[in-house]
Structure 1
Amino acid sequence: MTRALITGVGGQDGSYLAERLVADGVEVHALVLDEGRRPPYCPSEVILHLGDLADVEATRRLVVDLAPDEIYNLAAISSVAQSWSEPDLVSRVNGFAAVALLESARQVGEHVRFVQASSAEIFGEPATSPQDEDTPVAPTNPYGAAKAYAHLSVAVQRRRGLHASSLVLYNHESPRRPERFVTRKITAGVAAIAQGRADELVLGNLSARRDWGWAPDYVEAMLLAARADEPQDFVIATGVAHSVRDFVAAAFRHAGIEDWEGLVRSDPGLTRPADATELRGDATRARERLGWRPSMQFDEIVIRMVDAEQ
């Protein structure tokens, strides 16, 4: 039986990945910070191990003891805003701990398949759009810098014989997103207004444009990369960008509110420093070499998230 280890099982992607692996008959283990609580949506079949990814020695002992066939590193401090206030913590968890986990995987043996969840934030404010695997890595915030360190280290370990792939994941959403993410803040806020529980939605930069996909599709890309004959870096994206304003409009439209402009206020205090104007990915390599394609269009993603707020 295949054995897999997931870090970050408590997140949106981790929960979908755990469900998929369990359905495939994989023996799934997960590293968790809180021993007393099973993460939301985490299948009962998943074997939990208490630990902190940043505790390199303890994590290495666990990895060597389990000797998993597949390792999926999804653990990260996922807030770009938090990376500005706590850059040292973010660099330790998103960068150094990920690099240490790669080395732990290499020590287990060359049979291990490793997937690193990277981010489009490694590209910073790119000069060209869409971005692909050859786009220069030039992060403009501490989150992107930490992710870039881990991303580049994947290629280093590949040259040492590890089957390691880094997936440059563009924004991907689902109803499992926490409300600290702008997309979920939008859908929760729109639902509250439609139900008479709120009268205003306060957001930051409405002009920022992002390439939004469906989270389960991006988990599928992780599995395909882990089981591919050759490891590589892959941009995972839809290739279509929409603005935050587009997301807001689609959410209100589905809630039956056409005249929404007066219900939304932009607060400059919520705007992030050095926020990229547009991030849009070119997933040609993933399409040609993994057979991966997104299954859901932007409007349907918004609809599913709004419906889940009911």
Structure 2
Amino acid sequence: MPRAFITGITGQDGQHLASFLHSKGYDVYGMVKGQSNPHVGAVLEEMPFIEMVPGDLADLPSLVAALNMAQPDEVYNLGAISFVALSFNQAELTANITGLGVLRMLEAIRMVGGSQNNPIRFYQASSSEMFGKVRETPQNEQTPFHPRSPYGCAKVFGHDIVVNYRESYDLFACSGILFNHEGPRRGIEFVTRKVTNAVARIKLGLQHELVLGNLDSKRDWGYAGDYVRAMWLMLQQDVPEDYVIATGETHSIEELVERSFGEVGIDDWRQYVRQDPKFFRPAEVDLLIGDSSKARERLGWMPEIDFPTLISMMVAHDLQVEAAKAGIEL
């Protein structure tokens, strides 16, 4: 059975990827930092097939030990300080984990190696936030980077060091430049889930207001379950390359809000929404939309869940969760 090692295993993508790889017959190993990660229990309850391994992206020896323990065929580096707004307040930590963590993992892979006939294959989770103040629309693999946050800057370093190690050491290392991808497993701090959860709570009478920042920002939103398929496909190719993964459609945050309220039958959504300057970023990314032609042609990848279906799925999930917590029958 092939073996996969996933950092960021308790996050949205880590959970989706673990489930997908398990269905493909993989032994799945997930890296967790320390002994008190509050999400580990819930993840293992849903996916008991995952074997958790201790490790820390800030500590190279722990990564070497983790790889020696798991002996993986494939490594998926999804671990990061991934909340863009937080990166402005914790810029150094973001650079250390999101940026230098990639370098440490590549070094660990170079040291552990795998067998000569079956070297470890490496996937890096790059981000559309690297494009930032975009130079062209839509963005593809050749579009120059102009990040607008410490998170974006750290991701650019991670992306570039993957290219460097691929070219310097002939590692099978590639990056997926994934545009925004969401779903019911998304953290509550991210704007999509913040919106769908608030809408559910407002519908149930548990909350009376949704406070947001910029409603005009536009993003290319897809479903996380679709995007982890692309990660796996990249590591099944004969040659390692980088790919943009996106839907090719863009939607504003205002459209996200309007559609989410519409899912619960609320048309006059503006009475529930307030903008607060504290939620505006110091440097905003106004528009992101990806051109995934290369992935569609070479990987045969296509998104299956469209934007309306994604929002409907998320609102329905949050209605169920919030109603259960409050003891409300739907």
- Residue 115 of structure 1, aligned match among 89, 114, 123: 123
Partner SS for 2:29: strand
Partner SS for 1:129: coil
CA distance in 1, matches of 2:141, 2:158: 15
Per the alignment, residue 134 of structure 2 pairs with 126
CA distance in 1, matches of 2:20, 2:3: 13
TM-score, reference length from structure 2:
0.91
CA distance in 2, matches of 1:29, 1:41: 12
Per the alignment, residue 162 of structure 1 pairs with 171
Partner SS for 2:30: strand
Q: How does 1:65-144 map to 2 (within 5 A)?
A: 65-107=69-111, 108-109=113-114, 111-144=119-152
TM-score, reference length from structure 1:
0.97
Unaligned runs of 5+ residues in structure 2 are 320-330
Per the alignment, residue 210 of structure 2 pairs with 201
Q: How does 1:1-310 map to 2 (within 5 A)?
A: 1-35=1-35, 38-42=40-44, 43-107=47-111, 108-109=113-114, 111-159=119-167, 160-310=169-319
Partner SS for 2:4: strand
Q: Deviations over 1:159-184 (max 9, x none)?
A: 12111110011100001111101111
Q: Deviations over 1:131-169 (max 9, x none)?
A: 000000221211011110010111112112111110011
Partner SS for 2:64: helix
Deviation at 1:64, TM superposition (A): 3.6
AA at the equivalent of 1:63: L
Partner SS for 1:41: helix
Task: Select between 282-291 and 110-119 the one with higher mean Cα deviation.
Answer: 110-119
Contact 1:113 1:227 in 2 (8 A): no
CA distance in 1, matches of 2:150, 2:228: 25
CA distance in 2, matches of 1:210, 1:267: 20
What percentage of aligned pairs have identical amino acids? 44
Q: Deviations over 1:202-243 (max 9, x none)?
A: 111100000000000010000101111111111110010100
CA distance in 2, matches of 1:62, 1:175: 30
Contact 2:54 2:62 in 1 (8 A): no
CA distance in 2, matches of 1:35, 1:216: 28
The alignment of Structure 1 onto Structure 2 pairs a total of residues equal to 310
Contact 2:55 2:66 in 1 (8 A): no
Unaligned runs of 5+ residues in structure 1 are none
Task: Select between 165-174 and 56-65 the one with higher mean Cα deviation.
Answer: 56-65
CA distance in 2, matches of 1:34, 1:186: 31
Partner SS for 1:191: helix
Change (3 A) 1:292 1:60: same
Q: Which stretches of structure 1, 4 residues or more, deviate above 6 A after TM superposition?
A: none
CA distance in 2, matches of 1:65, 1:201: 46
CA distance in 2, matches of 1:39, 1:223: 25
AA at the equivalent of 1:174: G
Contact 1:9 1:39 in 2 (8 A): no
Partner SS for 1:279: coil
CA distance in 2, matches of 1:15, 1:80: 21
Partner SS for 1:309: helix
Contact 2:219 2:287 in 1 (8 A): yes
CA distance in 1, matches of 2:185, 2:23: 19
Task: Select between 25-34 and 229-238 the one with higher mean Cα deviation.
Answer: 25-34
AA at the equivalent of 1:249: E
Deviation at 1:39, TM superposition (A): 4.8
Contact 1:15 1:40 in 2 (8 A): no
Q: Deviations over 1:103-130 (max 9, x none)?
A: 2223314621110001011111112111
